[in-house]
Amino acid sequence: MKKIFLPIFILSMHLLSGCSDEFLDVDQTESISTKDIELFNNDAGAATFVTAIYSKFLDFNMSSFSWNGVSSIASDDADKGSSPGDTGTDKDVMDALTYNPSSLSITEIFSANYEGINRCNQALNIIPQLEKADATLRARLMGEAKFLRAFMYFTLVKTYGGVPIIDRLPNPSSQEDRTMQLTRKSKEEVYAFIEKDLSDAIEVLFDKSQYPSSERGRASRGAAYALLAKVNLYQKNWQKVVDNCNLVTGYAIVPDYASMFRVAGENDAESIFEIQGVGSIPIRGIQNYSVSQGARGAGGWGWGFNTPSLSLLNAYEVGDLRRNATIIFAGTTLYDGRVVPTTVENPRYNYKAYSSAIPDAEQSDTNIKYLRFAEVLLMKAEALNELNQTSGAIPLLNQIRLRAGLGNTTAVSQADVRIAIWKERRVELAFEHDRFFDVVRTGQAVAAFAIHGKTFVAGKHEVFPLPQLFLNETAGLSSQNPGY
Amino acid sequence: MRNFIFSFLALILLPAYMSGQIIKGKVLDKEGIPVPAAIIIAAGSNTSADTDFDGNFNINAKVGEMLKISMLGFDPVSIAATAGLMTVTLQESQDTSLKEVVIIGYGSRKKIDNTSAITSLRAEEVSKMKVLNASQAIQGKAAGVQVISSDLPGAAPSIIIRGLGTALGGRTPLFIVDGMPTDNINNINTNDITAYEILKDASSLAIYGTRAANGVVIITTKQGGGNKISVEVETFAGFRAPLKAVKMAGSNKYSHYSNAALQTTTFSQDQPVNTDWFDAITRTGTYAQNNISVSGSSENVKYFFSAGNYEEKAVLNGLDFSRTTFRTNNEFKISKKLTVSQNLSFGSSNSTPKPLDAFTNAYKQSPIIPVRFPNGEYGISLVGANGFAGVAGSSFNNVGNPVAQLDYFDEQQRSITLQGGLKLDYDILDSLKFTSQFNGEYYSWKNYNFEDSRRIWETNNNPGRLSSIIYPVERNINVLTKGRSQYFNWNLSNYLTYNKVFANIHDIEVTAGTETSIRGPREDLRIVRRNVNENSNYWSLAGVDYGATVLNYNDVVSNENRLLSYFGRFQYKLMDRYLVTGTLRRDGSSNFGKDFRWGTFPALGLGWIVTKENFMANVKALNLLKLRGSWGKLGNQNVPLNNQAYSIAGLTSYLGGSILFDGTTINSQIDPSLSWEVTEEASVGLDFELLDSRLKGSFDVYDKTTNNVILNTRPLITSGISNASPAHVGEVSNRGYEIALRWDDRISENLSYWVGGNFSSNKNELTGLSNAILAPVIGGDLGNGQFTKILDNSAVGQPLGSFFMYEYAGFDPATGAKLYLNAAGNPVTQDALNAVTDKKFVGSILPTSNYGVTLGLNYKNFDFSVDGYGTAGAKVYNGKKAQRFAGENVEDSLATNFWTANNITAPNPAPFNQVPVASTFYLESGDFFRINNISLGYKIPLQGMFINACRIYVNAINPFITQRFSGFSPELNGDGNPYGSQGIELNAYPALRSIVVGANLKF
């Protein structure tokens, strides 16, 4: 027996020591190692890095509850809504403009957009390495990434003013990259960066019509021009607004305003850029976007937040078709036959977020329309008016009013037309995440909020505070916005 | 095990040499069983010999010469040599400390010669308490060991040995079952266990290297013995009921309170229904266990076979659990030098789990709602214009019907665990032994969960059975989830043990070996389908493609983990009194990067048996005094991994059409140097026995520091990386002491008794953080947007598992509104609080001390024992109470006397309709002392009958508790995570009181 065991023992000792390190090399199976980049070295693989960026817009922290808090509830178009006792974490203070640098909405919009920017930078870093993918495709995908990066920086600069510009993948152990991540750039530098990204994107993006039918939601050349026009608008570069609006071609306003916010109107002729939720299986939608704005209480179907304000209701002229397409009123019947009983907790809800098929689930088929041709017309009208071409502006404005079932504008003077366009923007784009930034941009904020019954402090509330989490990291490299 | 020790000792005997004549004899114990390896010394002839396996000896001596026969564990005997065959009977020594052997890693050691802190528990101590999991039975029995148990059938208790040293890593001790390392012992039948050793200090633990930092529990299962077949039957059955009740408000008080909260008269003050929801969802639990074992031994074979069955109908309606176990343990002595042992265990569990939030819902649901409306539908929270609950009206809370919840919840789980091993012991030389051991473990689990979505919807939306309310067609009629899970782990160890005594005073034992452990990839499958056949027989038909009905399909093969180890231990005993143990283990783990995967774990232990010194010879009162000291390093490799990976989950998107596209990105930053956590421990202790060994005790002091604790650091916010990045940035200290005392005495032949107790104190603290921003672990989720715990940069100086919340400051006498202290120290209302600045640390879920007591007596054929356990210093959060925000029920005490404008001095604040912030209002002391077990047994006197022995017994498990907590149980294991639901009573299974009657028969 001894003769058998000693060799076994010696053998096992040898086995263990001989190739011990190799024995410990275990390939991971739970997740795809970043060593295996070859898996993505093809057309479809390259595209996934850009799909991930679009996917970011479906996240709760990016497009849903917090975004409504910042872009809508904080504005004079909406109230917190819901039950009086349900704060929605911070929606009560967002509504009252008493938020602070730690408020969740303010923190989430900052971090979510930088998460999206990371995805852009990952795509911009990886796609050039995927040399087996088609070169034209790769160029276009890079263009989409740059468009989306510009879109997110535009959100950041509107919301916070100047922010750090992360234009590459930071190396965690590089001091230079650390400084880049912690230092605010000026508003002007951010706008310049956005314009550069959009110019690059315009070179390589397809027109909307060039995309296959299943990919019409991708960023197109028209979307890049429209966004560039809006960026110009925010900087009051009126001529550029006009020029870029003129380059947004192949779109038209649709006859029925209400249809745009239903499944049938998704990616219609007027749509330039929108975020896609699809209700057929597998369901993939904007997380809790619809349900968080659905009617609350007995007979309701949602959380009841972000309700149309009295100020918005009063802004509609008599006969404006957009009023009933934008606002769900308690005690009415919706287009799909759903009865909204009077027992719901709030008198009004956001119709544009309503999903007929899936009103009460986390995932729904609701889209968010970020750029529509109607806004291009309004931007152009506003710019022409500012360029003293008021007569050129009025027909554009009337085109929008006509579709809404209204007569031509009565405004004639440049100043009146300006006010008319601003008002038209409000009712046309209500609940499309534009209002707060628009009243700030146009300088109407103090007056508008007074009507809304809230105090907008000039010099402070134009931008939201930088998140405290970010300031804690910066150790003095960046400073807070004034007043916070 | 003893025989193994005996044969082992036989190897180290001094060689005999020839002189005089050959004297032959046999050494037996009092039951006539041969005693191998007894030592026979003929002082006159200066010769010695030892008995063989059959107790026979030959020695050169002169007839009439005095032979001294000694054997460990027996009293020595001196007898004159005779020419004929001598028969010597040895009496077992009363000095138990001499014969007690403890199992240490890769070997065993006489307890007296051991330098480390090990608590050994014998079968009778563990199996007396009739609980499913052996870990629960050790609660209160071992100093320095905190057990947080749960009476939920099948739940694994948490065991914390000498304090919690890790925040994110694995917290459970390593279990070694008959040499097999495993994660839990739910599959082990307590009746099969013969010994339970808890390794507590670095000197004993270091041999387990990178898996030792949380302590090690070694479980040894039974072996055959004796010279004939022995059959043992154990059977018991009992009843179970919640130990504590919480008195809820009845219907009228509820209505009064809710009306006050709403400032309306929504609810009638004279309610026709008064539902006790807790009563409605519970029943008297029953449980029973039956075991049979067959064991015995012959010259070359020892055998043990057992079968056991456990059945429980739990107190929660519909929750049933059963477990069946089989075990065979056999040992074959193939030759004088070669022994092969085999063990195999099979454990199968079946259960029908039920959602524990039914307890919370029962607490919250209003008593005005009937379990069922008169039309037969489940009652839901609708209040009509008459102020009564009915099938129509307005909803007044969003709590479902807990009875319906349980009725609709249809789940079944089954698991099978197979564990087996083969061990080979070969005596290469008298002093050198080779051991090779292979163990494998196979686990398979499956479940289904059926949700009758349409019926649930109709219950909640159409209690009036109106034909106008129709279930939306696009919804799932029902949803079926099926899960499958399995893994195979194996372990191979080979080691040599060399033991020799030189010059009678140098006793050396050296162990050296290697070990390979593979935790195979665990595969988890989960399929969610919709609209399956209503008849469960037809869920899985042949020839049907279910692809179109699949809502979800998950298939995960988790990473395989390999461990390669070399270990060595040197144990030295000089003159039977000076002890040295040195241990070294080198582990390589596949969990870590190439340059960071090898670690070395050394330990040193010293011991001095003072009472063996000559100068102590006259100190009669002191039977034993031993001093111990140890130092060592231990590892914890169950830490977050740091493999950088492409993220793909949740990154899909539609792009304007009907195709869902896949997405990929990278959402992590990696620290390539991530490796295991290292705990360094120094400890000293002493063991003593006084007054004829009637009083025994030990005292230990330890200082443990884990100075590279892994915590999640947060990448800079603008990096856009949302995944936390684990890094070695924390330092956790555990310091404490343990005292154990026990008094055993025999007053007369008929009466003996004991009294014992232990006390341990531990101070746990997160002592430091290197320069890093932590991704805060925001834990203790109450499910309503409120969180009660935090681990972030501000947690330095606090114990782990600390609560973090607002401090309650009474209520405003003018309004009855609850007030909280803000950072400036001023009382403010909930809405004026600042979430960032106003919260504070208010204590931890970890107790600072725990203690156990035991006492018992044996009188004639009666035996009686009582065991108790308590903890102090922990906080618990009354999470279910902190749920009310609209229309939920409240406790009777709260509804009876609350603030109103006319009663501003009431003890309770005004009713409110707002989610209450997490505050010390709901934080209570977790201190408790509980009698864990009272056992009364009677041995029926049986002489010469078919049955050799029969003990019948009655046990009361958890009969009494004193607690300061107002909820059901202050012992709240929750999910076992100090930053999860541990220490929070929310969706918690209540502690139970059980009465058990049973019998133990031996044939």
Tell me if A483 sits within 8 A of A460, measured CB to CB: yes
Residue partners of B206: CB distance under 8 A and separation at least 6 = B212, B583, B584, B585, B601, B602, B603, B632, B633, B634
Return contacts of B83-88, CB within 8 angstroms, 24+ apart: B83/B21, B83/B23, B85/B24, B85/B25, B85/B26, B86/B23, B86/B24, B86/B25, B86/B26, B87/B25, B87/B26, B87/B28, B88/B25, B88/B26, B88/B27, B88/B28
DSSP string, A117-137: HHHHHHHHHHGGG-TTS-HHH
* A21 interfaces chain B, CB cutoff of 8 Å: yes
Question: pLDDT per residue over B818-876, tens digit each?
Answer: 999 999 999 999 888 888 889 999 999 999 999 999 999 999 899 999 999 999 999 99
Nearest to B646 by CA among B616, B666, B674, B660: B666
- In the structure, what pLDDT confidence band is assigned to residue A7 with cuts at 50, 70 and 90? very low
Q: What is the pLDDT of residue A349?
A: 97
Name the residue in chain B with its Cα closest to that of A19: B564
Q: How far is B436 from chain A (nearest CA, A)?
A: 8
Q: Nearest-CA residue of chain B relative to A114? A: B720
Query: Long-range contacts: B86-93, Cβ < 8 Å, 24+?
Result: B86/B23, B86/B24, B86/B25, B86/B26, B87/B25, B87/B26, B87/B28, B88/B25, B88/B26, B88/B27, B88/B28, B89/B27, B89/B28, B89/B29, B89/B30, B90/B27, B90/B28, B90/B29, B90/B30, B90/B35, B90/B38, B91/B30, B92/B29, B92/B30
- For residue A9, which residues of chain B lie inside 8 Å, CB to CB? 434, 436, 494, 496
Beta-sheet pairing, B523-530 with B550-557: antiparallel
Contact B718 A182 (CB under 8 A): yes
| pLDDT score at B72 | 63
pLDDT at A19: 54
Q: Do A32 and B654 touch (CB under 8 A)?
A: no
- A182–B913 C-beta distance less than 8 A: no
What contacts A443, CB < 8 A, 6 or more positions away?
none
Chain B contact for A85 (CB, 8 A cutoff): yes
For residue A267, is it left (φ>0), alpha (ψ between -120 and 50) or beta?
left
- CB-nearest to B658 from A6, A83, A214 is A214
Task: Classify domain B2-93 at the CATH topology level.
Answer: Immunoglobulin-like (2.60.40)
Residue tagged 């041969």 (tokens): B34
Residue A314 has pLDDT above 90, yes or no: yes
B719 part of contact set with chain A, CB < 8 Å: yes
**What integer best gives the mean pLDDT of chain A?**
93
Which parts of chain B have pLDDT scores under 50? 1-19, 96-98
Instruction: Report the pLDDT value the prediction gives residue B99, as an integer from 0 to 100.
Output: 61
pTM: 0.79
**Interval A235-293: pLDDT, tens:** 999 999 999 999 999 999 999 999 999 999 999 999 999 999 999 888 999 999 999 99
Q: What is the pLDDT of residue A78?
A: 97
What are the sequence ranges of the domains in chain B? 2-93, 239-522+558-995
pLDDT band at A411 (very low <50, low <70, confident <90, very high): very high
**Partners of residue A470 in chain B, C-beta under 8 Å:** 717-718
* Omega of the bond leading into A359 within 30 degrees of 0 (cis): no
Contact A54 B655 (CB under 8 A): yes
What pLDDT, on a 0 to 100 scale, did the predictor assign at position B240?
94
Predicted confidence at residue A35, as pLDDT, reads 84
CA dist., res. B711 & res. B671, Å (int): 12
- Percent of chain B exceeding pLDDT 90 equals 56
- Confidence at residue B94, expressed as pLDDT on a 0 to 100 scale: 55
Residue A71 class from Cβ within 10 Å (0-12 exposed, 13-18 middle, 19+ buried)? Answer: buried
pLDDT for the residue B498: 93
Tell me how close the Cα of A114 comes to any Cα of chain B, in angstroms. 4
User: Residue B61 CB: number of other CB atoms within 10 A?
Assistant: 26
The closest alpha carbon to B642, from B727, B521, B523, belongs to B727
CA atoms within 13 A on the CB side of B862: 9
User: Which chain B positions have a beta carbon within 8 Å of A36's beta carbon?
Assistant: 646
Sequence-distant (6+) residues with CB within 8 A of B794 are B841
Mean pLDDT of the A121-145 span: 96
Which residue of A48, A276, A339 to mutate against B (max B Cβ within 10 Å)? A48
Q: How far apart are CA B9 and CA B36, in angstroms?
A: 9
Token digits of residue B892: 């009777």
Cβ count near A41 (within 10 Å): 15
Percent above pLDDT 90 for chain A: 88
Please, what is the Cα angle at A172 between A168 and A178, to 5 degrees? Answer: 70
Chain A, residues 435-474, CB within 8 A of chain B, namely: 467-470, 472-473
Provide the 8-state DSSP code for A71.
I
Partners of residue B662 in chain A, C-beta under 8 Å: 48, 51
Q: What is the pLDDT of residue B19?
A: 41
- Nearest residue of A to residue B512 by CA position? A13
Residues 208-237, chain A: which have Cβ within 8 Å of B? 211-218
| Token code pair at residue A408 | 């031509």
pLDDT in tens, A170-197: 887 788 999 999 999 999 999 999 999 9
Choosing among 3.30.70.20, 2.40.170.20, 3.20.20.100, 3.30.70.1290, the CATH entry for B239-522+558-995 is 2.40.170.20
Residues of A whose CB is below 8 A from B666: 34, 122
Structure tokens at B449: 């969960």
Q: What is the pLDDT of residue B15?
A: 33
Q: Assign B118 to helix, strand or coil.
A: strand
Task: List, for residues B199-212, the tens digit of each pLDDT value.
Answer: 998 888 989 988 88
* Chain B partners within 8 Å of A181 (Cβ): 716, 718-719
Contact B654 A24 (CB under 8 A): no
Spatial distance between the Cα atoms of A221 and A226, rounded to a whole number of angstroms: 9
User: Considering CB atoms only, which of B664, B836, B885 is closest to A49?
Assistant: B664
pLDDT at A24: 85
Supply the pLDDT for residue B34: 78
Of B424, B836, B915, the CB nearest to A102: B836
Contacts B834 to A, Cβ<8 Å = 100, 102
Q: Is residue A12 pLDDT above 70, yes or no?
A: no
B560–A48 C-beta distance less than 8 A: no
Q: Does A45 touch chain B (CB under 8 A)?
A: yes
Residue of A136, A36, A211, A62 whose CA lies nearest to B651: A62
Let me know the angle formed at the C-alpha of B149 by B145 and B155, rounded to the nearest 5 degrees. 125
